[in-house]
């Protein structure tokens, strides 16, 4: 039974309709060559039945875009399929929107801006706080939705809900702290002020690897300071975004403040870039698309923030605590099956500890249980799609051809579909694809170094500069190396460092601007200098 029917059956009254126009197929991988599919399929269908009926009863299974106050289909009726990466089954059809719907979403956001930006910060703060409370009270359903459409283990998905909701809570508080300045005047009869004002309508484009957190990280600060938004989630994971938008409306955030469009990404991007009403583009995704958006924003000179790809080094020094380093590298590498921008992409190990580390690390990796994200004990789910698996395969092939050795894994998992074995590759060199680009999969390349200088040189030998990790027990070395690394974030003796209270963002081609923390709200504000003159006149 196709999962969509499961969900449709659960939606008595039919909020989701059978589509007149055939949906655009997104999933290229087919189960036929992999025997265990039917088993997985039965298991997930049972899960999906429960999830569908729970989501339906809580009204969180939204399958239309949000244009102002209206939940809307694509104007031409076209839809796209949203699939479960663990089974390939279709979860839902959502509208395949383009220029026209995006322009209407922009108009709604523009209309809503006047009143939303003029209410008090305290009122906006209350709405955001209510939204946070609703996200947390629906944590379980949202987590299940994330696992269903993105594949990550349920425990990680629940963690994403807490992390994602944390941005809404944090910026509900920050809303009340957008202070201006008074500048000592150079002339006695003048007073000089700086006001901070919301930039206006924001276009926010987000990826599939964190279907909730990448949205709240942008929408939280934007709404807090009075901006309105048009969000374009990835077509691979739109359901979490739509559920979050439903909760935003329930929290009393007025219609038009949050709009959601999805479908034809280039068309939606063009509409956002072309509109003079959109004053800011905030994007998380690949460096290639980020560059296009940055160039496109020049036409109307929009403010731009970009959170792009990484190529994170994880440097393990001889003086590191081996257990801490193994645990940290494991977390930094294999979270979300290696599909995060801050994933350790190159594990660079000093020669004195290399063999010991490689053995202990491979043992820990071997213990990672692979499977459907809904199954107990699973630490690694599927990759997002077939193309992601092929990318990992080609990187490993390239490394083997150039002399690297696979010491664990190195092939598709017997579960088939989009499952890949957690893999460790040793003797990786700087010229290999595994070192040069993001593998975005469960493969840990080990590189060897002799001196601190060499480690820093290898680590900085990339156009990316997002996250880096250092394992050492020397406080002096940890400072020296942190200062020398050309990265936006550095974890010392820690593999998971993202939090809503600290600034997140990259240098070099990993992006522009920062998200989260007290700095994150500046990306959505303009400074206005006001000069009050002739103070001595009446
Ligand atoms: P992607 O292909 O660049 O897609 C990101 C978003 O951009 C999606 O919503 C996508 O839409 C949309 N998009 C694609 N082409 C577009 C265009 N021409 N105009 C406008 N929008 C367009 O990246 P991804 O594969 O989803 O995500 C993985 C990448 O994101 C990795 O490189 C990862 O490192 C990076 N990432 C960075 C951070 C960070 O904070 N620095 C965080 C997470 C991920 P569709 O999906 O609907 O096609």
- For a mutational test of ligand 1's pocket, the pick from 79, 265, 292, 336, i.e. the residue with the most ligand atoms closer than 8 A to its C-beta, is 265
Q: Where are the alpha helices (DSSP H) in 119-264?
A: 121-137, 139-150, 154-174, 213-224, 238-250
Nearest residue (by CA) to ligand 1, atom 48, is 265
Specify whether the CB–CB gap between 342 and 328 falls below 8 A. no
**φ, ψ for residue 351, nearest 5 deg:** -60, -30
Between the CA of 176 and the centroid of ligand 1 the distance, in Å, is 32
Q: What is the pLDDT at residue 34?
A: 34
Between the CA of 211 and the centroid of ligand 1 the distance, in Å, is 11
What is the spatial distance between Cα 259 and Cα 267, in angstroms, rounded to a whole number?
Answer: 16
Quickly count: other Cβ atoms within 10 Å of residue 437's Cβ.
17
DSSP 8-state secondary structure symbol assigned to residue 97:
B
Q: What is the pLDDT at residue 318?
A: 98
Q: How many CA atoms lie within 13 A of 100 on its CB side?
A: 8
Nearest residue (by CA) to ligand 1, atom 26, is 207
Ligand 1 site, residue 269, Cβ cutoff 6 A: yes
Tokens of 266: 């280039």
Ligand 1 site, residue 238, Cβ cutoff 6 A: no
Per this entry, what is the length of the chain?
538
What is the spatial distance between Cα 509 and Cα 492, in angstroms, rounded to a whole number?
Answer: 23
Q: What is the pLDDT at residue 508?
A: 98
Q: Where are the alpha helices (DSSP H) in 424-474?
A: 433-436, 452-460
Q: What is the pLDDT at residue 44?
A: 42
In 3D space, the residue among 291, 292, 92, 272 whose CA is nearest the CA of residue 200 turns out to be 272
Q: What is the pLDDT at residue 48?
A: 66
Between the CA of 363 and the centroid of ligand 1 the distance, in Å, is 33
In 3D space, the residue among 176, 485, 471 whose CA is nearest the CA of residue 347 turns out to be 471
Q: What is the pLDDT at residue 23?
A: 56
* Residue 225 buriedness (CB in 10 A; 0-12 / 13-18 / 19+): buried
Between the CA of 119 and the centroid of ligand 1 the distance, in Å, is 33
What is the spatial distance between Cα 330 and Cα 324, in angstroms, rounded to a whole number?
Answer: 10
Q: What is the pLDDT at residue 55?
A: 82
What is the spatial distance between Cα 153 and Cα 137, in angstroms, rounded to a whole number?
Answer: 20
Show which residues are catalytic: 307
Ligand 1 site, residue 309, Cβ cutoff 6 A: yes
Ligand 1 site, residue 241, Cβ cutoff 6 A: no
Between the CA of 206 and the centroid of ligand 1 the distance, in Å, is 6
Q: What is the pLDDT at residue 43?
A: 43
Of all atoms in ligand 1, which is nearest to the CA of residue 288?
Answer: 3
Ligand 1 site, residue 206, Cβ cutoff 6 A: yes
What is the spatial distance between Cα 526 and Cα 222, in angstroms, rounded to a whole number?
Answer: 12
Of all atoms in ligand 1, which is nearest to the CA of residue 269?
Answer: 20
Between the CA of 254 and the centroid of ligand 1 the distance, in Å, is 28
Ligand 1 site, residue 266, Cβ cutoff 6 A: yes
What is the spatial distance between Cα 71 and Cα 293, in angstroms, rounded to a whole number?
Answer: 27
Q: Which residue in this structure is represented by tokens 């493969």?
A: 443
What is the spatial distance between Cα 413 and Cα 444, in angstroms, rounded to a whole number?
Answer: 16
Of all atoms in ligand 1, which is nearest to the CA of residue 235?
Answer: 47
Nearest residue (by CA) to ligand 1, atom 42, is 341
> By three-state DSSP, how is residue 491 classified?
strand
Ligand 1 site, residue 231, Cβ cutoff 6 A: no
Whole-structure pTM value: 0.93
Per-residue pLDDT of the chain (538 residues; tens, 9 = 90+): 334 433 443 443 333 333 344 554 444 433 333 333 333 433 444 466 677 677 878 899 999 999 999 999 999 999 999 999 999 999 999 999 999 999 999 999 999 999 999 999 999 999 999 999 999 999 999 999 999 999 999 999 999 999 999 999 999 999 999 999 999 999 999 999 999 999 999 999 999 999 999 999 999 999 999 999 999 999 999 999 999 999 999 999 999 999 999 999 999 999 999 999 999 999 999 999 999 999 999 999 999 999 999 999 999 999 999 999 999 999 999 999 999 999 999 999 999 999 999 999 999 999 999 999 999 999 999 999 999 999 999 999 999 999 999 999 999 999 988 999 999 999 999 999 999 999 999 999 999 999 999 999 999 999 999 999 999 999 999 999 999 999 999 999 999 999 999 999 999 999 999 999 999 999 999 999 999 999 998 7
Angle between helices 287-297 and 265-274 (to 10 degrees): 30
Between the CA of 283 and the centroid of ligand 1 the distance, in Å, is 8
Ligand 1 site, residue 385, Cβ cutoff 6 A: no
- For a mutational test of ligand 1's pocket, the pick from 26, 74, 207, i.e. the residue with the most ligand atoms closer than 8 A to its C-beta, is 207
Nearest residue (by CA) to ligand 1, atom 13, is 265
């Amino acid at each position: 039974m196709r999962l969509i029917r499961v969900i449709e059956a659960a939606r008595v009254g039919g909020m989701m309709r059978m589509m007149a126009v055939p949906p655009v197929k997104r999933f290229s991988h087919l189960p036929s060559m992999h025997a265990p599919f039917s088993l997985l399929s039965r298991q997930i269908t049972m899960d999906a039945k429960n999830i569908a009926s729970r989501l339906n009863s809580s009204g969180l299974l939204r399958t239309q875009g949000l244009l102002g106050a209206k939940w809307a289909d694509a104007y031409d009726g076209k839809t796209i399929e949203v699939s479960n990466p663990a089974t390939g089954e279709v979860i839902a059809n959502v509208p395949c929107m383009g220029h026209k719907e995006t322009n209407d979403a922009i108009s709604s956001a523009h209309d809503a801006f006047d009143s939303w930006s003029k209410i008090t910060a305290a009122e906006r703060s209350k709405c955001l706080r209510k939204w946070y409370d609703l996200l947390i009270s629906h944590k379980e359903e949202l987590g299940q939705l994330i696992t269903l459409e993105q594949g990550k283990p349920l425990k990680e998905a629940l963690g994403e809900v807490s992390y994602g909701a944390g941005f809404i809570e944090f910026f509900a508080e920050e809303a009340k702290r957008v202070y201006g300045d008074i500048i000592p005047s150079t002339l006695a009869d003048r007073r000089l002020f700086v006001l901070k004002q919301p930039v206006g309508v924001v276009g926010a484009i987000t990826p599939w690897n964190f279907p909730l957190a990448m949205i709240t990280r942008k929408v939280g600060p934007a709404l807090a300071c009075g901006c309105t938004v048009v969000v374009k989630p990835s077509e691979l994971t739109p359901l979490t975004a739509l559920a979050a938008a439903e909760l935003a409306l329930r929290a009393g955030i007025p219609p038009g403040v949050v709009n959601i469009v999805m479908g034809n990404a280039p068309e939606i991007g063009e509409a956002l870039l072309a509109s003079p009403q959109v004053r800011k583009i905030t994007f998380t995704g690949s460096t290639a698309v980020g560059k296009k958006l940055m160039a496109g924003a020049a036409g109307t000179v929009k403010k731009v923030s970009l959170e792009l790809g990484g190529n994170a080094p994880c440097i393990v020094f001889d003086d590191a605590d081996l257990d801490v380093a193994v645990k940290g590298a494991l977390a930094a590498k294999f979270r979300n099956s290696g599909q995060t921008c801050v994933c350790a992409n190159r594990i660079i190990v000093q020669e004195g500890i290399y063999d010991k580390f490689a053995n202990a690390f491979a043992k820990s990796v071997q213990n990672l249980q692979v499977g459907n994200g809904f199954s107990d004990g699973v630490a690694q789910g599927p990759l997002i799609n077939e193309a992601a698996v092929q990318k990992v395969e080609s990187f490993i092939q390239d490394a083997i051809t150039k002399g690297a050795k696979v010491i664990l894994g190195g092939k598709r998992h017997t579960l088939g579909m989009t499952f890949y074995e957690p893999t460790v590759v040793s003797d990786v060199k700087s010229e290999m694809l595994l070192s040069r680009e993001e593998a975005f999969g469960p493969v840990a390349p080990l590189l060897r170094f002799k001196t601190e200088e060499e480690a820093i040189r290898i680590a900085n030998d990339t156009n990316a500069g997002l996250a880096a990790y250092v394992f050492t027990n020397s406080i002096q070395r940890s400072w020296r190396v942190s200062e020398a690394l050309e990265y936006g974030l550095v974890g010392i003796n820690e593999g998971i460092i993202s939090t809503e209270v600290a600034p997140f963002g990259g240098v070099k081609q990993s992006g522009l601007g920062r998200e989260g923390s007290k700095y994150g709200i500046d990306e959505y504000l303009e400074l206005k200098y006001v000069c009050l003159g002739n103070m001595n006149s009446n």
